[in-house]
């Protein structure tokens, strides 16, 4: 009888010579509850290939996302002349991401990471083509629908961090998540710099209207990301980890069930709260900061630098943050996230609209707070559940995160309109303080043996004779 790891690594129709090379593994067959040894050299090679693939797809998806999103409000305003409709079009991205997060997770729970990620990128590409159609036909309706589908690409980009953690050792999960998230630095940062200066002029040079070139480039890059995932993400990391069900044992679960599992688990509750706070403060403050700077007479160049600095804060240090989350622990990183959130929001909020340094510095610190919160919380959420439940609860967590971010983005305009930019940042600072107290409360309710009231998971292993 094969040992469990050897059987996993060597099973599959693609094996032809008896060796367990990574490129020879097709789709391994695992029972629900099967556990792999992450120390096995073949699993380590699969993990390296998986991370490399996800980094490449993340870079393409990041450029595609920012290339289109950066001109969404401009195109909407150009078509309609309405700032309100421009804001609605921009908010469609967060709405689409929120709606898509859990369905994509259910697809992954049933079929693996590769089908879910590929589907998300293809839908995002379709959305970008619809935005091109909106620019050509001057029909506004195509734009919010298209941007909502581009939001599916945003949800897909976020889901890659969990795919990276499927085969990672428990003490390296956050580090691996941080490494994949770092790829967004190149993607989003590059996209924000070249969307209007390179992609749009190229589009005009071939006869496309303003802003269509940015969306067309985004559509092609989303297709490239889908192709990378389809070709390179083999074997599927979630399938190999035993997190995909069979016809008899379906790992998919309704949203209410996934949410119930999250609420019953102290670690998971804290993780999802941290992701919601991180996303809301980032989206909420960033939505109105460019307009605030514009009111202060600052140039478009200054606003672009602020956006780029904010993106660097979100992604550039993510490998280091991931390593710290593994070495120091998830909880201290979440406390630091809350402190950074409050500090950055207060710094930006109390800076007058003409103050470039204060606003840019504050938004960069808020970006760092997002980085600390998302990476540490993602690791904590992954730690809280067995592999067969992770995809569904991760999707539910991301859905809550994206939805809260969308609400924050829509609410930001009303807060600034009826109150002030300072009040918007004060609200963000309060959320940061709430996160700190939530971490302390969770720690206070935790025994040395683990959280009180921790959910008991019943997993029925499949006998090796049946699995192989």
Alpha helix segments (H runs only) across 316-352: 318-327, 330-349
* 39 or 83, higher pLDDT: 83
Q: For residue 164, is pLDDT > 90?
A: no
Q: What is the pTM of this model?
A: 0.75
Give how far Cα 82 sits from Cα of 86, 89, 140, 252, Å: 6, 11, 11, 42
Other C-beta atoms lying within 10 Å of the C-beta of residue 329: 15
pLDDT on residue 189: 67
**What is the DSSP-derived secondary structure letter of residue 385?**
S
Q: For residue 190, is pLDDT > 90?
A: no
Give the mean model confidence (pLDDT) for residues 96-116.
Answer: 90
Give the mean model confidence (pLDDT) for residues 82-94.
Answer: 79
The domain ranges of the chain are: 4-11+29-467
- Name the superfamily (CATH) of residues 4-11+29-467: MFS general substrate transporter like domains (1.20.1250.20)
Q: Is the peptide bond before 310 cis (omega within 30 degrees of 0)?
A: no
Using CA atoms, how far apart are residues 9 and 21, in angstroms rounded to an integer?
8
pLDDT band at 83 (very low <50, low <70, confident <90, very high): low
* 455 or 110, higher pLDDT: 110
Q: For residue 28, is pLDDT > 50?
A: no
Q: For residue 5, is pLDDT > 60?
A: no
Q: For residue 31, is pLDDT > 50?
A: no
Instruction: Please provide the average confidence, as pLDDT, over all residues in the chain.
Output: 82
pLDDT on residue 448: 42
* 249 or 243, higher pLDDT: 243
Q: For residue 235, is pLDDT > 50?
A: yes
pLDDT on residue 311: 83
Q: For residue 282, is pLDDT > 80?
A: yes
> 16-30, 150-164, 226-240: lowest mean pLDDT where?
16-30
Residue 406's nearest CA partner among 101, 162, 130 is 101
Q: For residue 34, is pLDDT > 60?
A: no
Query: What are the beta bridge partners of residue 447?
Result: 450
pLDDT on residue 18: 36
Using CA atoms, how far apart are residues 324 and 330, in angstroms rounded to an integer?
8
Q: For residue 451, is pLDDT > 50?
A: no
pLDDT digits (tens, 9 = 90+) for 287-312: 778 878 888 988 877 887 888 889 88
> 126-130, 202-206, 289-293, 451-455: lowest mean pLDDT where?
451-455
- Within 8 A by CB and 6+ apart from 268, the residues are 261, 262, 380, 381, 384, 385, 393, 397
pLDDT on residue 177: 87
pLDDT digits (tens, 9 = 90+) for 54-79: 999 988 998 888 888 778 877 888 89
What angle in degrees, to the nearest 10, is found between the helix axes of 266-295 and 255-264? 100
Give the mean model confidence (pLDDT) for residues 195-204.
Answer: 78
> What percentage of the chain has pLDDT greater than the value 90?
45
pLDDT on residue 328: 92
Q: For residue 196, is pLDDT > 70?
A: no
Q: What is the largest CA-CA distance in the chain?
A: 74
Residue 59's nearest CA partner among 49, 48, 67, 71 is 67
């Amino acid at each position: 009888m094969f040992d469990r790891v050897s059987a996993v690594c060597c099973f599959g129709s693609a094996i032809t010579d008896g060796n367990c090379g990574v490129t020879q593994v097709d789709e391994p067959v695992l029972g629900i509850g099967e556990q792999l040894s992450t120390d096995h050299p073949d699993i380590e090679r699969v993990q390296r290939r998986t991370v490399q693939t996800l980094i490449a797809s993340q870079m393409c998806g990041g450029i595609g996302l920012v290339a289109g999103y950066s001109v969404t409000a401009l195109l909407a305003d150009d078509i309609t002349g309405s700032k309100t409709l421009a804001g609605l079009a921009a908010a469609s991205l967060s709405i689409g991401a929120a709606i898509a997060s859990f369905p994509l997770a259910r697809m992954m729970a049933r079929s693996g990471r590769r089908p879910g990620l590929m589907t998300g990128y293809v839908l995002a590409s379709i959305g970008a083509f619809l935005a091109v159609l909106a620019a050509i036909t001057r029909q506004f309706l195509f734009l919010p629908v298209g941007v909502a589908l581009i939001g599916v690409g945003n949800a897909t980009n976020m889901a890659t961090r969990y795919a990276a953690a499927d085969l990672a050792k428990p003490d390296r999960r956050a580090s691996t998540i941080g490494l994949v998230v770092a790829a967004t630095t190149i993607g989003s940062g590059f996209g924000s710099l070249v969307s209007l200066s390179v992609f749009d002029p190229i589009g005009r040079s071939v006869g496309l209207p303003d802003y269509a070139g940015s969306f067309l480039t985004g559509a092609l890059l989303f297709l490239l990301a889908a192709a990378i995932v389809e070709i390179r993400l083999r074997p599927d990391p979630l399938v190999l980890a035993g997190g995909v069900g069979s016809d008899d044992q379906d790992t998919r679960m309704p949203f209410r069930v996934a949410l119930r599992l999250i609420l019953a688990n102290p670690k998971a509750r804290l993780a999802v709260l941290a992701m919601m706070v991180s996303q809301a403060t980032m989206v909420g403050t960033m939505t109105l900061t460019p307009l605030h700077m514009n009111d202060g007479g600052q140039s478009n160049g200054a606003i672009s630098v602020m956006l780029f600095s904010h993106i660097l804060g979100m992604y550039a240090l993510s490998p280091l943050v991931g390593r710290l989350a593994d070495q120091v622990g998830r909880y201290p990183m979440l406390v630091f996230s809350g402190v950074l959130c409050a500090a950055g929001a207060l710094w930006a909020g109390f800076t007058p609209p003409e103050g470039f340094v204060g606003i840019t510095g504050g938004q960069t610190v808020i970006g760092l707070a997002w980085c600390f919160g998302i990476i540490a919380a993602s690791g904590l959420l992954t730690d809280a559940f067995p592999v067969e439940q992770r995809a569904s609860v991760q999707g539910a967590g991301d859905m809550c995160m994206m939805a809260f971010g969308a609400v924050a983005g829509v609410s930001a305009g009303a807060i600034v309109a009826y109150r002030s930019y300072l009040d918007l940042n004060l609200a963000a600072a309060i959320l940061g303080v709430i996160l700190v107290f939530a971490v302390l409360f969770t720690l206070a309710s935790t025994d040395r043996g683990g959280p009180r009231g921790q959910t008991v998971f019943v997993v029925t292993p499949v006998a090796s004779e049946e699995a192989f």
